[in-house]
């Protein structure tokens, strides 16, 4: 039986083990999937190089740090400097970022029009970089939002209201279970009623999402990125709307 797992910190809330077991049952794959809650990048190096695990997903706060332990990376990783999937091929350690495909599908699934829209991405971490990379193919008006102004593509939270964004995306972990009463912004940051997308999926409706009448969580992104990760590990994986709906129903989030 092949073993896979999620590398991160403070990730006990994660639905990934259940999600990957559902995928395994659908495609008749014999596997186990566990959480590796680690406290240092050195522990990750030991895990990856032990070759006891057949593949990993990577989440906060290690999506960028893990890069130095990989032999080869995908074009998406080269553009974003963020990894969420590790696999082995020809005695090499490969890195990919299937969050890209997950976010792309989330936009399509919910019929969200992003063409030439003014969009803000809360956060500057690995997930934010991937979202930015996808959005820039469809609009020139994308800005990161951070506590401090870092470059010309970044504004501070205090300035969100001035821009009247059409879409605001939370790519921070703020509001994730168990801190469900937190939000990276509040009503005072908004001068309109933008579409809100929270990459968080637990809880299903975050405090951030409650700030707008038009909001979406990251569940579809979670499911699709997991399917693409499994596709890197197991060639028998197929991805379509029927399978995604089946997983969503069984996951019951």
pLDDT at residue 168 is higher than 90:
yes
How many Cα atoms occupy the beta-carbon half-sphere of 130 within 13 Å?
28
| 64-105 residue pLDDT tens | 999 999 999 999 999 999 999 999 999 999 999 999 999 999
- Strands in the chain per DSSP E: 2-8, 31-37, 55-58, 72-73, 85-89, 92-96, 119-122, 142-146, 154-156, 167-170, 195-198, 215-216
Contact at 8 Å (CB) between 132 and 151? Answer: no
Q: List b or e across 14-49, with b for residues whose CB sees 16 or more CB atoms inside 10 angstroms.
A: bbbeebbebbbebeebebebebbebeeeeebeebbe
CA 223/CA 231 separation, integer angstroms = 12
Q: Is residue 1 very low, low, confident or very high in pLDDT (cuts 50, 70, 90)?
A: confident
pLDDT at 44 over 90: yes
Cα distances (angstroms) measured from residue 114 to each of 109, 118, 136, 240: 13, 8, 10, 22
**Does the bond joining 90 to the residue before it have cis omega, within 30 degrees of 0?**
no
Tell me the mean pLDDT in the region 196-218: 96
Tokens of 155: 């504004």
For residues 163-191, average pLDDT: 94
23 Rama sector, left if φ>0, alpha if ψ -120 to 50, beta otherwise: alpha
Q: If residue 102 lies in a helix (H) or strand (E), which one and from where to where?
A: helix 99-109
For the segment 29-41, what is each residue's pLDDT rounded down to a tens digit? 999 999 999 999 9
- DSSP for 189-252? G-SS--EEEES--SSSS-TTGGGSSSEE-SHHHHHHHHHHHHHHH-TT----HHHHHHHHHHH-
Q: Which residues are catalytic, by number?
A: 63
Q: Across residues 215-242, what is the average pLDDT? A: 95
CB 123 within 8 A of CB 172: yes
């Amino acid at each position: 039986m092949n073993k896979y797992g999620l590398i991160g910190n403070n990730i006990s809330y994660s639905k990934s083990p259940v999600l990957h077991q559902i995928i395994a049952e659908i495609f008749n794959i014999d596997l186990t999937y566990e959480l590796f809650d680690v406290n240092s990048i050195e522990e990750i190096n030991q895990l990856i190089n032990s070759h006891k695990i057949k593949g990993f997903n990577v989440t906060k706060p290690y999506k960028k740090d893990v890069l130095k332990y990989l032999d080869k990376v995908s074009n998406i990783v080269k553009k974003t400097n963020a990894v969420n999937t590790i696999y082995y091929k020809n005695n090499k350690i490969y890195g990919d970022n299937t969050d890209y495909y997950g976010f792309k599908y989330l936009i399509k699934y919910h019929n969200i029009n992003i063409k030439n829209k003014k969009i803000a991405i809360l956060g500057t971490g690995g997930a934010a970089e991937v979202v930015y990379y996808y959005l820039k193919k469809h609009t020139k008006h994308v800005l990161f939002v951070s506590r401090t102004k870092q470059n010309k593509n970044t504004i501070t939270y205090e300035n969100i209201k001035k821009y009247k964004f059409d879409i605001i995306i939370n790519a921070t972990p703020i509001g994730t279970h168990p801190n469900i009463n937190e939000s990276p912004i509040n009503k005072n940051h908004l001068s309109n009623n933008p579409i809100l997308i929270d990459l968080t999926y637990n809880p299903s409706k975050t405090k951030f999402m409650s700030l707008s009448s038009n909001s979406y969580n990251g569940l579809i992104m979670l499911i699709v990125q997991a399917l693409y990760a499994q596709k890197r590990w197991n060639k028998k994986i197929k991805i379509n709307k029927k399978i995604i709906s089946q997983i969503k129903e069984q996951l019951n989030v």
